[in-house]
Amino acid sequence: MAKLYIDSDKYAQHAQFALVEAYNSAMRDLVRRRFAESGREWRDFVADAAYTLITAEDIAAIEAQVLSYGYRFEPSAISSARERPDAYKDSGLYQADFSFEHPDAPTAPTDDVGRELRGAGDNVVTRERNLTGIARYVRTSEKVLEYLTHGVPADTIAIVDDSGGTLTAPILEKFSGVLCAGGTTRSHLAILTREYGIPCLMNARLSGIRDGERLEVESTARAKTGEDYAQGIDASARVWRLA
């Protein structure tokens, strides 16, 4: 009879959050049952049988069971705003009246070419020219669904939360640029935008930029490196609002 060995030191510790533990426990139980029913060796089960013996319906049933207990999944965007309120301070709206008000955002009056400094961030990849486009906040699944249905507007510079890489994955390649309020140039979102060739600033500190306004992003600035982070070196790329 096939046996499933679990390293208790590695896998038997409880998750910090009840929802995560409930979901993980249900998944482990499912795997145990399907493995026992298969009568196969563990290696064969993992490499072959598991793909057909564990189905999407099984996963959906687990989620339904967890939710029936009263647990609720929480978007990481909500967690980000709660844990770092200063970075996501806003008017409470998501559209024309919405703007981040980061306390450390650099600002300056309009310069002689019509640019008003409204923030900065960590540049992912150095480009030959600065990026210009339209600021559009993408913070909810409803907004992503809207763009999936009707298309991402041209010249969109998406302003996203820490969760941007996951939330916007279905439409990420359609953005002209991305400004993310959290993360570093080694974050998942930074890796994705680098692969897609999309200008991106991570850890963006923005102030007073409203949905629909025209921006210029200093994507010609040097990319911030791991050594910069380790040594506390500021290598910020600027964000201007255009007149």
Q: What is the pLDDT of residues 149-184, one digit of tens each?
A: 999 999 999 999 876 677 898 999 999 999 999 889
User: What is d(CA 206, CA 240) in angstroms, rounded to the nearest whole number?
Assistant: 10
Q: Is the pTM of this model over 0.75?
A: no
Domains of the chain, each with CATH number or no CATH: 8-68 (no CATH), 76-242 (3.50.30.10)
Residue 125's contacts (CB-CB under 8 Å, 6 or more residues apart) are 193, 194, 199, 200, 219, 223
* Stretches in the chain below the pLDDT threshold 70: 1-17, 71-98, 163-164
The closest alpha carbon to 217, from 191, 233, 193, belongs to: 193
pLDDT at position 70 is 72
